[in-house]
A and B are shown apart, each in its own frame.
Chain A
């Protein structure tokens, strides 16, 4: 079996891993819909989104590997790190749930990533700025697609409305982690690598309020719950994702198509 790799504790690398891993793990969850979406057309739409996110993850992890300095490429970072070294927010590792959960999570994450990529276009790291210029277009579409579905389900039948309410009850509290700034954010903001994620809170809340109000939905009141995925402390679901995602490279080191 292929041994795990360990990552140096560098704040710029951590900042990029948070972005790359969030895209990567959400892509893995969206990929679970392939062959299972409610209609064929949406099946393809979700797979497209997953592939966009894999592309973003590849680009960002490649850059993270360069900055980390031990020569790891994006595949090694994706397939050979252990759970504690993954820095995605907990929100994206939660089970895919029903279609309402997927729609709401996509709306929450795409809105966040759109705001983040917009700011990252001004990154002092030219490569990150270039990645952001491409990714922001993808995120804009992901947000629109998810927001349209949120409105359809929120304003749809009693059943679709009930499911959207349930999804809000389950997912909304995980948004707090997105905006809980720490030393990694402060270092990125200081160096100009990227914004402190806390700065994205107000615009994110405003855009989500627009989406939810169009859908006739009410966001739950803010609580004190704070998930910790971006510090490497994950939910019980994370290990299963990695087992599925990594087992091939672990069992057949360096295997390629």
Chain B
């Protein structure tokens, strides 16, 4: 069967009441951006999950290649000095 008539896939990001960032929560099919926003609202915010929604066409997302995983991410495993755990924070500094 041809998939030409299928609606495109969209990725959905929802910002919760207490959250500052939009978090990826799933995907859905919709004919265009307007429908995607409404569907995202109906599918992913039914239980008071959100105060703001982003949608983006899945085919617009550029992802790293799983084959590059070793090269990309493994070198960071033994670089503990990149974590700021060797400093003592003055007690007057909060929100860190």
Q: A39-B7, A39-B29 are in contact. Are A45 and B42 (CB under 8 A)?
A: yes
Total A residues in contact with B, Cβ cutoff 8 Å: 11
In the bound complex, residues from chain A placing their C-beta under 8 Å from that of B25 are: none
Q: Do A48 and B29 touch across chains, with their CB atoms under 8 A apart?
A: no
| B84–chain A nearest beta-carbon distance, Å | 44
Query: CB of B56 within 8 A of chain A?
Result: no
In the bound complex, residues from chain B placing their C-beta under 8 Å from that of A145 are: 38
* Majority secondary structure, A binding face: helix
Q: A41-B43, A45-B42 are in contact. Are A152 and B31 (CB under 8 A)?
A: yes
- The chain A residue with its CB closest to the CB of B35 is A148
Q: Do B42 and A41 touch across chains, with their CB atoms under 8 A apart?
A: yes
Query: CB of A44 within 8 A of chain B?
Result: yes
Q: Do B30 and A41 touch across chains, with their CB atoms under 8 A apart?
A: yes
Q: With a 10 A CB-CB cut-off, give which of B28, B38, B46 has the most chain A CB atoms.
A: B38
Query: CB of B34 within 8 A of chain A?
Result: yes
Query: CB of B53 within 8 A of chain A?
Result: no
In the bound complex, residues from chain B placing their C-beta under 8 Å from that of A144 are: 38
Proximity string of chain B (9-44) to chain A, C-beta cutoff 8 Å, 1 when within and 0 when not:
000000000000000000011110011001100110
Segment 35-78 of A: residues with Cβ below 8 Å from B = 39-42, 44-45, 48
Q: Do A45 and B39 touch across chains, with their CB atoms under 8 A apart?
A: yes
Q: A39-B29, A41-B28 are in contact. Are A48 and B35 (CB under 8 A)?
A: no
A48 and B34 alpha carbons, distance in the complex (Å): 18
Q: Do B42 and A148 touch across chains, with their CB atoms under 8 A apart?
A: no
| B57–chain A nearest beta-carbon distance, Å | 15
- The chain B residue with its CB closest to the CB of A145 is B38
Proximity string of chain A (67-100) to chain B, C-beta cutoff 8 Å, 1 when within and 0 when not:
0000000000000000000000000000000000
Segment 1-42 of A: residues with Cβ below 8 Å from B = 39-42
A145 and B38 alpha carbons, distance in the complex (Å): 8
Q: Do A41 and B31 touch across chains, with their CB atoms under 8 A apart?
A: no
Q: Do B34 and A148 touch across chains, with their CB atoms under 8 A apart?
A: yes
Q: Do A41 and B29 touch across chains, with their CB atoms under 8 A apart?
A: yes
A144 and B39 alpha carbons, distance in the complex (Å): 12
A230 and B28 alpha carbons, distance in the complex (Å): 40
In the bound complex, residues from chain A placing their C-beta under 8 Å from that of B42 are: 41, 44-45, 48
| A34–chain B nearest beta-carbon distance, Å | 13
Which residues of A are at the interface with B, using a C-beta cutoff of 8 A? 39-42, 44-45, 48, 144-145, 148, 152
Enumerate 11 A-B pairs (CB-CB under 8 Å) in ascending A order.
Answer: A39-B29, A41-B43, A44-B42, A45-B39, A45-B42, A45-B43, A48-B42, A144-B38, A148-B35, A152-B31, A152-B35
